[in-house]
Structure 1
Amino acid sequence: MALSNVWFTLAAVLVVIASPAKANSNDVFNFALNLECLEGQFYSYAAYAEFARDEVAHLAFLRRTAGAAAVPCPQINIGSSFDTIIQAALESRAGNSVFSPYDNDVNFLLSAFLFEDLGVTAFAGAIPVLTGGDAQEAAAGILGVEAYHGGLLRQWLFENGDLVVQPYGIQVVSFVQALSDLRGKVGGGKDQGITIPAAVASYYGPNILGFFQANIVPTDSDAKIFARTPKEVLAIAYGGDATKPGAFFPSGVNGNIK
């Protein structure tokens, strides 16, 4: 190899190392497609309301955008997966109860809380690695909708924070904090409940809603939303370990990003 070619190759390597990593847009959209398959199925099983329409529209858009490269929906567990997550979040407080998102409205909205914040942080992590303005604009548009969903859910959960989730005997605000703590533990430490930390210091015991201070918008110190990597997203969706499919995706996700 000529010396000039050696220097050219070395320069190219250095450019790649120095530049932010970029990803194939179809790979990123296919990763997102897995999450939209999960959300679309979850909402559609309950009632075909606005959230369901949004998620189904997201799914259709991602398929249309990826074209022939679009992956099929993966195997999804909407049944026992929720109980697995709740058991992990509540630990000994879960008792022998079996959690289902479709038993009542409170359970359903608590379950939706699991997904919506996850979707926002996933798209926030995807936008910087997408190539091209069109792809980034599309991801930002979906992120915005997921953030609206998440904000509405967090507001409702906060306003009804003193309701007791049965049969656990745990207030909604404390239940949410337990779910947030679990997401933070396995998902890169990036999560917040619906109250400021000082207000939930004693969340293992009874709380009085009047003392809570709202945290409807989870942000970092610069008031920006958190961004998660694919591995951090999968660690939550798989129930704790990004390398071991389980929970909502018992056979893993489809596509090149895993």
Structure 2
Amino acid sequence: MGFPMISAALLLQALLLASPSTAAHLPQGVADTLNFALNLECLEAQFYSCAVYGEPLSSELTGNGPEPIGCRQADLGDYYGIARSIADDEIAHVRTLREVLQDGAVMCPLVDIGPAFAVAANAAFNTTLDPAFDPYANPLFFIHGAFIFEDVGVSAYQGAATSLEGDLLTAAAGILGVEAYHAGAIRTLLIQNSFVDTPYNVQVNQIVEAISTLRDNLDGSDDTDYGILFSDGRTILAPVGEDGITKARTAREVLNVVYGGEGNQGLFFPDGLNGNVK
């Protein structure tokens, strides 16, 4: 479990640096890390593909993996354009990883992008919410659902940086910018709605804070997560420490978040991940 999470987008640069013929000769540790990334990209791509297009990834992209639980088109309203841009990026990440790994790519695992969101929301508030949280129900709930994933990916990039050097480190810095654009877009939309009341008798900023606290509790690390408002009301656009740098998450910490706790399966991955890093 020593492998850091590396987003599929980072491997796009790896594809450019090496000929396709080298994919079959990847060191096992590298292949394991790429397959770990593929699992996580499958989760994000399935969520955004369903929300935007109303359908899951093709069997070609999933490697004949199972269809996701809870796939349906979301009411995105004015956020459709942003959601579609993110969806297209995430779908491209899955495709790129399969090109890099070729026959060594695992199939996408079973992902829960329906009821799991309600489970996560209930855990965040330590109660059963009524109505059940549904990211497809309206534009406001959609950006809350997206927030659950986006900041985790950025913190994972920071965790990956220490294991990279040379061209890959340069590529990681560039691709981190892409992932940060996604997270920043979602955080901006949430900030613009900070004081909007929700059906749960709390405001948007309070839901975001609850999600952030849940992720911090699950990952088992120091305070690596932030909501969208400081206690004095100042806005938090970028979730950084006093040094102005995003905090890191290891592979295990990322898994704890997407599994909903320690173990090898659960929450968004009911049967766990495929591959050696899980």
Where does residue 81 of structure 1 map in the other structure? 116
Q: Which protein has the larger Cα radius of gyration, Structure 1 or Structure 2?
A: 1
- The normalised TM-score by structure 1 is 0.80
Where does residue 160 of structure 1 map in the other structure? 193
RMSD of aligned Cα (Å): 1.9
Where does residue 247 of structure 1 map in the other structure? 267
Give the Cα–Cα distance (whole angstroms) in 1 for the partners of residues 30 and 241 of structure 2: 27
- 2:277 is matched by which residue type in structure 1? I
Give the Cα–Cα distance (whole angstroms) in 2 for the partners of residues 97 and 53 of structure 1: 30
Q: Percent identity?
A: 45
1:44-55, aligned counterparts within 5 Å?
44-48=49-53, 49-55=84-90
Where does residue 59 of structure 2 map in the other structure? none
Where does residue 60 of structure 1 map in the other structure? 95
Q: Deviations over 1:38-79 (max 9, x none)?
A: 111111111141010010111111221222222111110111
1:176 aligns with 2:208: yes
1:25 aligns with 2:45: no
- The normalised TM-score by structure 2 is 0.74
Give the Cα–Cα distance (whole angstroms) in 1 for the partners of residues 136 and 115 of structure 2: 12
Give the Cα–Cα distance (whole angstroms) in 1 for the partners of residues 171 and 277 of structure 2: 19
Gaps of 5+ in 1: 1-21, 200-211
Where does residue 235 of structure 2 map in the other structure? 214
Q: Which runs of 4+ in 1 moved over 3 A?
A: 132-142
> What number of residue pairs does the alignment pair up?
220
- 1:148 is matched by which residue type in structure 2? Y
Where does residue 157 of structure 2 map in the other structure? 123
SS of equivalent to 1:24? helix
Give the Cα–Cα distance (whole angstroms) in 1 for the partners of residues 39 and 213 of structure 2: 24
Q: CA deviation at 1:135?
A: 4.0
Q: CA deviation at 1:157?
A: 0.5
Q: CA deviation at 1:245?
A: 0.8
Give the Cα–Cα distance (whole angstroms) in 2 for the partners of residues 123 and 228 of structure 1: 8
Gaps of 5+ in 2: 1-26, 54-83
Give the Cα–Cα distance (whole angstroms) in 2 for the partners of residues 247 and 71 of structure 1: 20
